[in-house]
């Protein structure tokens, strides 16, 4: 009796309440995030085409790394990996700096009202779904009725209307539309960082005779560097994550060889063809590589810039 | 060059910036304007091209077809209801956890924090999650749109950071009045955190409004089709869904899938367009608050 009382006394009533509240989150994560991790065992089993999940996990045979081997020797493997990495590395290189440049430039605009309007308008495409935005872009690119092809033909940029549905345009489409849709919104975080810079630094620099460029280069940019680092690390760890929504909208029968990425491949073979074990293995491979990328880029950042995200 | 400098202290660079950003802003707006114009144009006429700035053969017929499309309204209802219900559930649930995580005296705080953070960096992948949804019996149910979206670690961290910045004295006053933790959360912490609660709610709401992946992967019945999923099928099918209403031949002869799809797109983004000017400033504020932790 005495002992039981002591253990309940260990925490106050309000601490128990807090524990309950935080516990709700833990229970949620255990169900929706940790329970699926047990399903990873499927990656090492022969559970393809098994309808009942419990049956697949409990009763199917262990096959070691066979599922991984199957993926590595699949004729589509090279294309899928090249598309995933190529597309993501290219869009990282091209679209990562864009919001930073946008933020630095819009920060130089003197007219406050004009700045505000441009900023607000720049967020707009972000709030449209990829279905809507992509659908509109495809109409604008249409070879007969689209404005883009009209401009191309009028300015004689090409021999005739361009069919943007072909493979060779797919990566370009993804990168350009990603840029347009995200640049304004992604700049907000950098603008927030710029807003937090101590104004006295600029005043001191002005007294020392610094011009606009000096201030941008020696004060603004170094001040937002920590923010840039954090987002760069996160972007690198997401290198295998394609924007499924975006790719799904722009892909068609003609550009499959350039539009099939890991995420669409897993969807196609896993969800549509019930190859659960095979695609779980691919998903696992992806998760592990993402974790490695995160750890490595964080370590590199800590070494070079002296800071990481954890 | 010199003359430009004399103009109210605006240098060439300043003027270039204004020109650039004006063009940029037009580029941001134009796609939606384009679809708007097309949606008011007659279908057969649209095919001949050149409808970029104003409708050439003006008509409401495309909208007549859209308004009579029962499938669209059912999808609209699903999306509106899941957005309201899903946002309310998620913001309540996430705030409760965020409140506990913002308190220093929470027992096992380090372990609980780790359990949360780990999920941001590692996941079981699509297929195990799909199998979980099936096992839980959530597959092809309406609850699928609400329950798995009820909690997000990222949102929890943002709200939790804000709660931490609230003055401690207010809480002490509430404790003296005999309030428990839930009372303090709902009558002190949340009312004082309206900006961040509003921002995160809007993020969640936009996510619900725009999602189609969950409908495509985890449902199979017609009755659960969401607005975006409906649009996707419409865009892919390239068919005119005249359905329930009977239109005069002069109208149907003129209809094409493309302009009807345009009208459907316009109808689907109207709520976002109306709300956007009022909410955009909140979004910005929210990101700034979330970024304080760096």
> Where do the domains of chain A lie?
66-123+186-305
CB-based contacts of B161, cutoff 8 Å, min separation 6 = B102, B289, B290, B292, B293
Looking at residue A135, what is its pLDDT?
92
Q: How many CB pairs under 8 A join A and B?
A: 266
Which residue in the set B52, B131, B132 is minimally distant from A147, CB to CB?
A: B52
pLDDT digits (tens, 9 = 90+) for A251-265: 888 888 898 999 999
- Tell me the average pLDDT of chain A: 87
What residues does each domain of chain B span? 80-222
Q: By percentage, how much of chain A surpasses pLDDT 70?
A: 96
Looking at residue B39, what is its pLDDT?
92
pLDDT at A2 over 50: no
Which residue, A124, A256, A24, A158, is CA-closest to B116? Answer: A24
Band (pLDDT 50/70/90 cuts) for residue B247 is: low
CB contact under 8 A, A25 and B108: no
Band (pLDDT 50/70/90 cuts) for residue B228 is: very high
Looking at residue B185, what is its pLDDT?
93
- Half-sphere exposure in the Cβ direction for A141 (13 Å, CA): 18
Band (pLDDT 50/70/90 cuts) for residue B288 is: low
CB-based contacts of A251, cutoff 8 Å, min separation 6 = A170, A259, A260, A264
Question: Which one has a higher pLDDT value, A47 or A270?
Answer: A270
CA angle B124, B128, B129 (to 5 degrees): 85
With b meaning 16 or more CB within 10 Å and e meaning fewer, what string describes A14-34?
bbebbbebbbbbbebbeebbb
CATH superfamily of A66-123+186-305: MetI-like (1.10.3720.10)
pLDDT digits (tens, 9 = 90+) for A153-209: 888 888 888 888 888 899 999 999 999 999 988 888 888 888 888 888 888 988 888
Token pair of B33 as six digits: 């304007």
Looking at residue A247, what is its pLDDT?
92
Q: How far away is chain A from the Cα of B106, in angstroms, using its nearest Cα?
A: 6
Looking at residue A161, what is its pLDDT?
85
With b meaning 16 or more CB within 10 Å and e meaning fewer, what string describes B120-156?
eeebbbbbbbbbbbebbebbebeebbbbbbbbbbebb
CB contact under 8 A, B129 and A36: yes
Interface test with B, best of A17, A25, A134, A287 (most B CBs within 10 A): A25
Among the CATH numbers 3.40.50.970, 3.20.20.140, 1.10.3720.10, 2.60.40.420, which is that of B80-222?
Answer: 1.10.3720.10
Q: Mind giving me the DSSP string for B251-290? A: HHTT--HHHHHHHHHHHHHHHHHHHHHHHHHHHHHHHHHH
Band (pLDDT 50/70/90 cuts) for residue B3 is: very low
pLDDT at A98 over 60: yes
Band (pLDDT 50/70/90 cuts) for residue B285 is: low
Interface test with B, best of A7, A10, A21, A54 (most B CBs within 10 A): A21
Q: What is the mean pLDDT of residues A222-250?
A: 86
Q: How far away is chain B from the Cα of A115, in angstroms, using its nearest Cα?
A: 9
Q: Measuring CA to CA, how many Å separate A223 from each of A215, A217, A263, B133? A: 11, 10, 36, 45
> In this structure, what are the phi and psi dihedrals at residue A45, rounded to the nearest 5 degrees?
-120, 170
Which residue in the set A37, A140, A237 is minimally distant from B34, CB to CB?
A: A140
ipTM for the complex shown: 0.87
Which residue in the set A36, A188, A263 is minimally distant from B124, CB to CB?
A: A36
pLDDT at B222 over 50: yes
Chain A residues 14-53 within an 8 A CB cutoff of chain B: 14-15, 17-22, 24-26, 28-29, 31-40, 42, 53
Distance CA B55, CA B53 (A): 7
Interface test with A, best of B95, B123, B125, B160 (most A CBs within 10 A): B125
Q: Which residues of B touch A244 (CB under 8 A)?
A: 213
Looking at residue B145, what is its pLDDT?
96
Looking at residue A116, what is its pLDDT?
87
Looking at residue B239, what is its pLDDT?
66
Looking at residue A9, what is its pLDDT?
63
């Amino acid at each position: 009796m005495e002992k039981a009382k002591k253990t309940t006394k260990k925490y106050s009533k309000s601490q128990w309440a807090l524990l309950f509240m935080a516990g709700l989150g833990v229970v949620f994560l255990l169900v929706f995030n940790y329970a699926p991790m047990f399903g990873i065992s499927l990656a090492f089993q022969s559970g393809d085409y098994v309808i009942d999940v419990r049956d697949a996990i409990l009763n199917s045979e262990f096959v070691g790394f066979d599922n991984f081997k199957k993926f590595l020797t699949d004729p589509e493997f090279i294309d899928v990996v090249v598309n995933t990495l190529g597309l993501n590395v290219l869009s990282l290189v091209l679209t990562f700096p864009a919001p930073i440049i946008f933020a630095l430039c819009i920060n130089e605009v003197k007219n406050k009202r004009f700045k505000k309007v441009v900023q607000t308008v720049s967020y707009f495409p972000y709030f449209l779904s990829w279905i809507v935005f992509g659908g509109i872009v495809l109409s604008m690119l249409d070879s007969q009725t689209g404005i883009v092809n009209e401009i191309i033909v009028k300015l004689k940029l090409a021999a005739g209307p361009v069919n943007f549905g072909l493979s060779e345009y797919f990566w370009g489409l993804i990168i350009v539309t990603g840029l347009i849709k995200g640049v304004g919104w992604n700049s907000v975080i950098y603008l927030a960082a710029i807003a937090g810079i101590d104004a006295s630094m600029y005043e001191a620099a002005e007294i020392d005779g610094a011009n606009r460029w000096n201030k941008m280069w020696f004060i603004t940019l170094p001040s937002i560097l920590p923010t840039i680092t954090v987002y760069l690390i996160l972007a690198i760890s997401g290198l295998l994550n394609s924007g499924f929504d975006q790719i799904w909208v722009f892909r068609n029968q003609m550009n499959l060889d350039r539009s099939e990425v890991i995420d669409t491949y897993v969807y196609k073979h896993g969800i549509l063809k019930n190859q659960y074990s095979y695609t779980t293995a691919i998903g696992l491979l992806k998760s592990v590589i993402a974790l490695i990328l995160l750890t490595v880029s964080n370590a590199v950042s800590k070494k070079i810039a002296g800071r990481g995200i954890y | 060059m010199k003359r430009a400098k004399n103009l109210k202290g605006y240098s060439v660079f300043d003027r270039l910036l204004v020109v650039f950003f004006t063009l940029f802003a037009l580029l941001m707006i134009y796609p939606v304007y384009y679809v708007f114009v097309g949606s008011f144009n007659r279908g057969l006429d649209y095919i001949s091209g050149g409808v970029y700035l104003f409708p050439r053969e003006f008509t409401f017929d495309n909208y007549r077809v859209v308004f009579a499309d029962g499938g669209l309204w059912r999808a609209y209802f699903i999306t509106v209801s899941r957005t309201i219900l899903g946002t309310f559930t998620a913001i309540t649930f996430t705030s409760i956890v965020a409140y506990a995580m913002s308190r220093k005296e929470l027992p096992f705080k380090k372990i609980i924090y780790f359990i949360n953070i780990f999920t941001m960096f590692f996941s079981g992948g699509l297929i195990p999650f799909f199998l979980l949804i099936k096992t839980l019996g959530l597959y092809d149910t309406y609850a699928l749109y609400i329950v798995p979206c009820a909690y997000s670690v990222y949102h929890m961290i943002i709200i939790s950071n804000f709660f931490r910045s609230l003055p401690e004295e207010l809480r002490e006053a509430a404790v003296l009045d005999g309030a428990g933790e839930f009372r303090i959360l709902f009558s002190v912490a949340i009312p004082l955190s309206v900006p961040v609660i509003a921002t995160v709610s809007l993020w969640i709401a936009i996510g619900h409004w725009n999602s189609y992946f969950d409908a495509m992967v985890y449902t199979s019945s017609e009755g659960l089709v969401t607005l975006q999923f409906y649009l996707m099928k419409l865009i892919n099918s390239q068919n005119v869904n005249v359905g329930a209403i009977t239109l005069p031949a002069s109208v149907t002869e003129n209809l094409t899938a493309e302009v009807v799809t345009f009208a459907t797109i316009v109808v689907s983004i109207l709520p976002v367009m109306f709300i956007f000017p009022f909410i955009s400033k909140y979004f910005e504020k929210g990101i700034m608050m979330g970024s304080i932790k760096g």
